[in-house]
Amino acid sequence: MKVLIVEDEKVAARRLMRLVQEILGEKVESLECRESLDDAEQYIEKHPIDVMLLDLNLSGESGFRLLQKAVASSFQTIIVSANTDRAIQAYEYGVLDFVPKPFEKERLMRAFERLEKTGRSAAGESAQVLVVRNQGRLQIIPIEQVHYLKGAGDYAEVHLRDGSLTLHSKSLEALERILPAHFSRTHKSYIVDMRDVVAVRVHGGGKYELELRDGKLLPLSRSRYKELSERLHKA
């Protein structure tokens, strides 16, 4: 796992490095530390990472702009900050976890567990917006506008309700962990807003499809079929 720490206070940064090393042990592929997000970006350009541990001063306007930049990227972001009053907003922007300072090793460990678990993480907070990079500019899409997501290699296609399409740098796996519970991985390549599903169609040859409210048909994997049909019958 490739980890980047962004922390301007040396003492705190040293401790984070030490703890990450202890938690991940052998799994650490790279572990670097930078003093600011600007410095971090230069590093990321040449070295892809999986997760960023970010200390941001979220009390001002500029802190949130930097946060948007981080969450629009392909890697997951874990905030490590003393601005606990901003935790909910950070989650809404789509950070994977918010570790309040000061913290114990166990709390950081849980954050890394969320990173490795498949499917949605257990925490109640989830992203309320998706921040995407659109022609170099950051664009904030309210989650309500998202229809479904389709995997496209390392990226994800975000299909909006108005029919338009935009790309997110994160993989479907990464997005699944931060999206609200009503978004469900229905297929290797699809995440769908389940509130839009009106029917499950069964075709011959083990082929299943979901019918959405607007008539669109999306593939459904066999492994998810049983669980979903039950859930739909209940509703």
Residues of the shown chain interacting with another protein in the complex, contacts defined by CB under 8 A: 8-12, 14-15, 18, 35-36, 57, 59, 82-85, 100-103
Complex with another protein: residue 10 or 213, whichever CB lies closer? 10
Complex with another protein: residue 67 or 200, whichever CB lies closer? 67
In single-letter form, the type of residue at position 80 comes to V
- DSSP conformational letter for 117: S
Q: Which of 185, 192, 155, 163 is nearest to 73 (CA)?
A: 155
Structure tokens at 214: 């607007």
Q: CB of 101: closest distance to another protein in angstroms?
A: 4
Structure tokens at 22: 């202890």
Q: CB of 12: closest distance to another protein in angstroms?
A: 6
Complex with another protein: residue 86 or 147, whichever CB lies closer? 86
What is the Cα–Cα distance from 224 to 187, expressed in whole angstroms?
A: 7
Complex with another protein: residue 37 or 131, whichever CB lies closer? 37
The verdict on whether omega for the bond into residue 180 sits within 30 degrees of 0, i.e. cis, is no
Q: CB of 115: closest distance to another protein in angstroms?
A: 21
Q: CB of 140: closest distance to another protein in angstroms?
A: 23
What's the helix, strand, coil split of the chain in %, to 5? 35, 35, 30
Complex with another protein: residue 8 or 157, whichever CB lies closer? 8
Q: CB of 63: closest distance to another protein in angstroms?
A: 11
The alpha carbons of the chain give a radius of gyration, in whole angstroms, of 19
